[in-house]
Amino acid sequence: MNKHDLIQKLGMEMHPEGGYFTETYRSNTIIETDREGQQRAVLTSIYYLLTDDRPIDHFHINKSDIMHYFHAGSPVIYLVLHPNGTLQKFKLGMNLANGETPQLLVPGGYWKAAFLEDGEFGLLGEAVAPGFEYRDMKIAEPDAFRQEFPHLWDQLAPYVKQ
C-alpha cells in the first residue's frame, strides 16, 4: 500500500493541522464537562496520516488527553511542549532497539507537533478522551507562540503553521 491507497481505502481527508485523517469511532456515551457546549463523547478515535507531500502536523493544543499509536510506514517524530516550556522529542515507530515507541500519550494542555522525517508515509491512530471537538483545539498562531516561547522559537518555527 502507498499513501494514495491509504487515503482512498481509509476515506481520509485533509486535516487543518496538516496530514490526513478519518474519524473511526465516536462513543455514544456522553459526559458533562466544564468546556464550551459542556457535553462530550467519552472517547473518539481517528486514523492520522503524514505523507511526504504533507509531512507536518503543525503545533496545536488540545484540552483532552490524546494517545497516539503507530500503525505503519516510516517513524513519526513528535515535539511535545509542556506548559512550563520544557520541550521533549519522541519518535513513534516499531524499532524499539533504536529508541522508537509504538505509542505516546500527550496530556491535555500540552502543545504538540509531529513530522515525517523521511519515507512516503507514517500511519498513526489516535484515541481522544474526552472525545475530540474542534472547539477544544487551537492551532498555534506564529506571533503569540513566538512571544510565549522565545527561547525555543528557532526549534519550533518550522512546525508552526504560517
pLDDT band per the 50, 70, 90 thresholds, residue 128? very high
pLDDT tens-digit series, residues 35-88: 989 999 999 999 999 999 999 999 999 999 999 999 999 999 999 999 999 999
Domain count of the fold of the chain: 1
pLDDT tens-digit series, residues 104-114: 999 999 999 99
- Residue matched to cell numbers 474519524: 23
**Amino acid letter, residue 17:** E
* pLDDT computed for residue 116 by the predictor: 98
The closest alpha carbon to 53, from 126, 2, 10, 1, belongs to 2
* Structural domain of 111: 3-159
* pLDDT computed for residue 52 by the predictor: 98
Mean pLDDT of the chain: 97
pLDDT band per the 50, 70, 90 thresholds, residue 15? very high
The answer to whether the CB of 70 falls within 8 A of the CB of 103 is: yes
